[in-house]
Chains A and B, each alone.
Chain A
């Protein structure tokens, strides 16, 4: 079976750092993706990890541990516009066009 878990909601203060965790149990693993989704809009791509370690991209970083089935998305210097849902997704098949399996998303609220 496939199972991807994320916290349902998180709240953080403007200017702070927040870490959103994702654990997964899938039949295979061929990469983990993070997306940002504002209410009523389509998700937008944030990051991709396939090897263990940290990938940094500006204020956003994503970490992966394949042995633990664990990833996190780190958002630094939070801004009000970062209030959104953050979706963790796994490609669990060998082929690069295997559909992504999504978690339920974490709704982040950034407060002043």
Chain B
């Protein structure tokens, strides 16, 4: 089945550690996105990539990094510079540039700092 796979589902991080959240899609989508959601809040854009080997900062990119070396993969690294990383992280992808296309979400990853 085609879809977006995020892993791990739950991750605990010690303060000062970097962690990487995986996002893989087999939908052949060009564009991929990372959003962060805090309890009771909407989604905020961290980074996005419209094509392989290219990515753009979103509204809250500080303390995060990404890479897009393959079309299928868009991993997100939460660095120690991110002071409050505990949140729900959602990866999404988009089929093409057709204006009415919705984005497709992965199941999300919960990150907790301990």
Least Cβ–Cβ distance between B95 and chain A, in angstroms: 9
Tell yes or no: A50 within 8 A of B by CB: yes
Interface of A, secondary structure class, is: loop
Minimum distance in angstroms from B99 CB to a CB of chain A: 4
Residue of A nearest to B91 (CB): A42
Of the four ranges (under 10, 10 to 19, 20 to 34, 35 or more), the interface on chain B belongs to: 20 to 34
The reply to whether A97 and B105 contact each other, CB–CB distance below 8 Å, is: no
- B108 CB contact (under 8 Å) in A41, A45, A100: A41
Q: Is the CB of B105 within 8 A of A43?
A: yes
Cβ < 8 Å to B, chain A residues 23-70: 30-31, 33, 40-45, 48, 50
Mark A residues whose CB is within 8 Å of B.
Answer: 4, 8, 30-31, 33, 40-45, 48, 50, 87, 89, 91, 95-97, 99-105, 107
Additional 10 contacts, C-beta under 8 A, given A99-B33, A99-B58, A105-B41 = A8-B40, A42-B105, A42-B108, A43-B90, A96-B100, A97-B50, A99-B45, A102-B35, A102-B43, A107-B40
**Which residues of B are in contact with A by a Cβ distance under 8 Å?**
30-31, 33, 35, 40-45, 48, 50, 58, 88, 90, 94, 96-103, 105-108
